[in-house]
Structures are given as structure tokens and as C-alpha cells.
């Protein structure tokens, strides 16, 4: 298994859609074969179509707002006295998270295909919020599938979704979180694929959804590469790009332009959700060596039992609370291009506390997992080492959880 150079990772799959011959694919009911084939053809056409690209660029610039800033966290760096800690503040994007890239592209594709309805899944509520924003912008009718447990814990995003005129469909089956929301959304699409477009909220699902999402979020690393060269006049000798990984869309977007570099120069570190300290229900299939399985139409490392039943997961961060992971990350893991680890709920909360103390930054619980790893490794590293954390979401959605767990720190 080997990564090819100079070809985007999203395109390095075989004719059946597998990366490294075993990750990804399209394990779908017959009914979805045709709509997925149509979408695959359309996307292939659109990504090479100048008119579509300039439209996309226009909305990325004027609707999403780009580039998001790249800043040095001076106080944090000085406090730990090791590596330089930088952050790419992707949460500055319209809506407050990276999910807006994929949502905007899907809305544009939906329009191009002449469909009037768009549906999507959401965990933390950001994918849903962004899809509802994009749907509103482009005049599409929108339904968001969300687990009942997540609706409760991510209320601010739910309010935003409804304000944008989208309908939230609560999902009561299973663990009532993201995994069930994605299942229900797929079921809805099976029944309505003739007039409805489906957006999968991360780099998961059947092959084409992984590709569209990865293509959209790669905007992050395109910006970052320019910003790094601007700051340092060249690509520095030691960089560590740290990103949280749930489905893995922000991590792929954050890394895509840097995959061709030697890992000794640019190390890619993915941080999964370890869950509460003593819980066994972590959502960390990569770092805790889960077996390969098929979930939501793709083969990837999946938290499951011996029988192939998908395991319930538990994490303080709804956006990372997912038993599967992108086939792209499985490929990056097996080729050893990226390294994966996890942070517990407590470590993520502690990272939040530290960030709030030293910096004027308010990262959501998802990127706090990445910050936890940065804080852990920074003190041992040289001053020439550049750590960049993708601060891919804003903590506004987590205010209730943060108030409950950390008291008044949130209001500081």
C-alpha cells in the first residue's frame, strides 16, 4: 500500500472506489446505485468546469469568507517554552466551522443537478447549521437529520438551523447520536432520491461523498500553505499539523496540500475522541486499533463487536462521537503517513481551560482534542518546531456543556 505523489489523495482509489484496495468503496442498496452514479458523473464534470469553479471561488470568498487567519499563539508558546504553537482559525469561516465548505459545494451541486431539496446529517450541529445556511443562500428546501441526544446537547446550533428555515428531523433509534442520524438520512435518501440531493456531513459514506467533502475542505490547506510560506519565507524544516478526527473532514482538508512532504518535515497528527477517562465507549477507531468494517456505505476502521454490530460511542464532543472514520484516514494510517492518537474528555476540557487562560480564542470541544495533544507534546520540542492546530470550530455551540463542566470559565 503506497501513497502516490502529485495526485490528490481523494483520487487515489481503484475502479470500485477503494483506497489502498480495502478502504472506502460503495456498499449501497441497489436503489442508490443510479443516483450515486449520476452524482459521480456530475462531480467529475463540475470540478473541471471553469464556470462552476469560478462560482465556487466566488462563494468561498464572499459567502464563506477567506482566507481564515493563521496566527501564532504567543502566550501559550511562552508558557510551555518548547515548540512554537500556531493556529489556523478556521472557525472564522461563516457559521463558525469548516463544515461550511462541504455544505456550500453540495448546495452548488444540488443546484447544478436541478434538484430543489437537500438533506443532510449532523452530529455537533455544525454540518446541519452550515447546510441550512447554504440551502437558504441558494433557495433550496432543507431537512437535517440529528440524533435526539445531540439535539439536546447542541441546542445553539439547532436554534440556528431552524432560524435558517430548515427542518430538523429528530432520530430516536440506537444511541440517538450521529451514527443514527447518518443512517436515517440515508434511508430518507433511498426513498426520495429522485428529487432530493443528499449531503454527507464528513469525509465518510460511499466513495463519492468522501471525494466531494475532501475536495471542499482542501481549501483550508491551500490557504495554510500560502500563509506558512508568507510567514516563514519557505516551508520550515519541522512542522506538526495537529487536527481532531471524528469523520475526518477538517483533518483531511487541513493536510491535503502537505501529504506529499516527507513526514520528518511535516508530521500529520490526528486526535480522536477518547471519551470519558474510564469509559470503554471511546470513538477512536484509528488510535485504538478497531477492525475494518462496513458502516454507512464504506469500509473503514470501525468500533464494532465480533459479530459486526456497530458499537455505541461516547464523547463530550458530539462532532467526534462517531464509531467509524474516513477511509482516507485509514489509508493515511496504514501507509504510516499520519499518526493517530486520542484525547479524553477531561484532557479536552483541560485544554479548553488553558487556551482560555492564555489566548483570546474560543475553540469548540472538537479542536480542544487537538489542542490537548499540542499542549502535551510542545514542551518537549525545540523552538524551531512549528506546531499548527486547526481550530476548526467555535465553542458557542458548547456553551451549556462548558458552563456545566467548568463553571464560570466560559463567561470570562
Would you tell me how many other CB atoms lie within 10 Å of the CB of residue 50?
7
Cα 119 to Cα 399: distance, rounded to the nearest angstrom: 27
In this structure, are residues 180 and 174 in contact, taking their beta carbons and an 8 Å threshold?
A: yes
Give backbone dihedrals phi and psi of 395, rounded to 5 degrees, phi first.
-80, 0
- Provide, rounded to whole angstroms, the least separation between the CB of residue 351 and another protein: 32
Return the range that interacts with another protein (CB under 8 A); candidates 82-90, 159-167, 181-189, 230-238: 181-189
**Which residues in 193-222 contact another protein (CB under 8 A)?**
193-194
Binding mask 132-171 for another protein (x = CB under 8 A): ----------------------------------------
Question: Residue 117 interacts with another protein (CB under 8 A)?
Answer: no
DSSP secondary structure, 90-103, as one string: GGGSTTSBTHHHHH
In this structure, are residues 183 and 173 in contact, taking their beta carbons and an 8 Å threshold?
A: yes
Nearer to another protein, 322 or 410 (CB): 322
Size of site (CB under 8 A) for another protein:
37
Cα 296 to Cα 10: distance, rounded to the nearest angstrom: 18
For residue 191, cis peptide bond before it (omega within 30 degrees of 0): no
- Provide, rounded to whole angstroms, the least separation between the CB of residue 330 and another protein: 15
Cα 339 to Cα 230: distance, rounded to the nearest angstrom: 27
Return the range that interacts with another protein (CB under 8 A); candidates 111-119, 279-287, 302-310, 377-385: 302-310
Binding mask 271-300 for another protein (x = CB under 8 A): --------------------xxxxxxx---
Question: Residue 113 interacts with another protein (CB under 8 A)?
Answer: no
Cα 356 to Cα 116: distance, rounded to the nearest angstrom: 43
Question: Residue 40 interacts with another protein (CB under 8 A)?
Answer: no
Nearer to another protein, 195 or 265 (CB): 195
Cα 43 to Cα 62: distance, rounded to the nearest angstrom: 22
Most distant CA atoms of the chain, gap in Å: 58
Return the range that interacts with another protein (CB under 8 A); candidates 26-34, 237-245, 336-344, 391-399: 26-34
Return the range that interacts with another protein (CB under 8 A); candidates 24-32, 103-111, 211-219, 234-242: 24-32
- Provide, rounded to whole angstroms, the least separation between the CB of residue 283 and another protein: 15
Nearer to another protein, 36 or 286 (CB): 36
| Strand extents, DSSP E, 5-83 | 18-19, 23-24, 70-72
200-226: b or e for each residue (b if 16 or more CB lie within 10 Å)? bbbbbbbbbbbbbbbbbbbbbbebbee
DSSP symbol at 64: I
Pairing of strands 70-72, 141-147: unpaired
Nearer to another protein, 207 or 219 (CB): 207
Question: Residue 62 interacts with another protein (CB under 8 A)?
Answer: no
In this structure, are residues 368 and 349 in contact, taking their beta carbons and an 8 Å threshold?
A: yes
Could you say which of 13, 19, 26, 266 contacts another protein (CB under 8 A)? 26
Could you say which of 29, 65, 165, 379 contacts another protein (CB under 8 A)? 29
Question: Residue 13 interacts with another protein (CB under 8 A)?
Answer: no
Q: Which residues are at the interface with another protein (CB under 8 A)? A: 16, 25-35, 173-174, 179, 183, 186-187, 190-194, 291-297, 302, 304, 306-310
Amino acid at each position: 500500500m503506497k501513497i502516490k505523489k502529485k495526485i490528490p489523495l481523494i483520487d487515489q482509489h481503484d475502479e470500485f472506489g477503494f483506497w489502498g484496495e480495502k478502504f472506502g468503496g460503495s456498499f449501497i442498496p441497489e436503489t442508490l446505485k443510479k443516483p450515486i452514479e449520476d452524482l459521480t458523473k456530475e462531480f467529475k464534470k463540475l470540478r473541471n468546469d471553469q464556470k462552476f469553479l469560478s462560482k465556487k471561488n466566488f462563494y468561498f470568498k464572499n459567502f464563506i469568507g477567506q482566507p481564515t487567519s493563521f496566527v501564532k499563539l504567543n502566550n501559550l508558546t511562552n508558557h510551555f517554552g518548547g515548540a512554537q504553537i500556531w493556529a489556523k482559525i478556521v472557525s472564522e469561516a461563516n457559521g463558525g466551522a469548516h463544515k461550511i465548505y462541504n455544505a456550500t459545494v453540495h448546495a452548488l451541486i444540488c443546484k447544478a443537478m436541478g434538484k430543489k431539496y437537500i438533506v443532510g446529517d449532523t452530529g455537533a450541529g455544525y454540518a446541519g447549521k452550515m447546510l441550512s445556511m447554504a440551502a437558504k443562500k441558494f433557495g433550496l428546501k432543507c431537512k437535517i437529520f440529528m440524533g435526539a441526544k445531540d439535539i439536546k446537547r447542541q441546542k445553539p446550533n439547532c436554534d440556528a438551523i431552524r432560524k435558517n428555515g430548515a427542518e430538523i428531523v429528530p432520530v430516536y433509534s440506537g444511541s440517538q447520536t450521529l451514527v443514527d442520524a447518518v443512517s436515517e438520512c440515508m434511508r430518507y435518501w433511498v426513498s426520495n432520491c429522485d428529487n432530493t440531493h443528499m449531503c454527507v456531513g464528513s469525509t465518510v459514506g460511499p466513495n463519492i461523498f468522501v471525494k466531494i467533502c475532501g475536495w471542499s475542505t482542501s481549501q483550508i490547506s491551500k490557504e495554510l500553505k500560502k500563509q506558512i510560506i508568507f510567514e516563514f519565507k519557505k516551508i520550515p524544516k519541522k512542522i506538526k499539523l495537529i487536527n481532531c478526527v471524528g469523520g475526518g473532514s477538517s483533518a483531511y482538508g487541513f493536510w491535503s496540500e502537505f501529504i506529499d512532504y516527507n513526514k520528518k518535515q511535516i508530521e500529520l497528527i490526528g486526535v480522536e475522541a477518547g471519551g470519558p477517562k474510564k469509559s470503554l465507549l471511546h470513538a477512536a477507531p484509528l488510535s485504538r486499533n478497531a477492525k475494518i468494517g462496513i458502516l454507512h456505505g464504506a469500509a473503514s476502521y470501525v468500533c464494532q463487536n465480533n459479530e459486526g454490530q456497530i458499537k455505541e460511542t461516547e464523547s463530550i464532543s458530539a462532532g467526534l462521537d462517531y464509531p467509524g472514520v474516513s477511509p482516507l484516514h485509514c489509508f493515511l494510517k496504514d501507509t504510516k503517513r499520519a499518526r493517530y492518537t486520542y484525547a479524553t474528555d477531561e484532557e479536552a476540557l483541560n485544554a479548553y481551560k488553558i487556551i482560555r487562560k492564555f489566548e483570546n480564542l474560543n475553540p469548540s470541544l472538537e479542536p480542544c482534542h487537538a489542542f490537548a495533544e499540542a499542549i502535551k507534546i510542545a514542551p518537549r520540542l525545540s523552538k524551531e518546531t512549528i506546531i499548527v492546530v486547526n481550530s476548526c470550530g467555535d465553542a458557542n455551540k458548547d456553551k451549556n456543556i462548558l458552563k456545566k463542566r467548568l463553571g464560570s470559565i466560559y463567561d470570562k
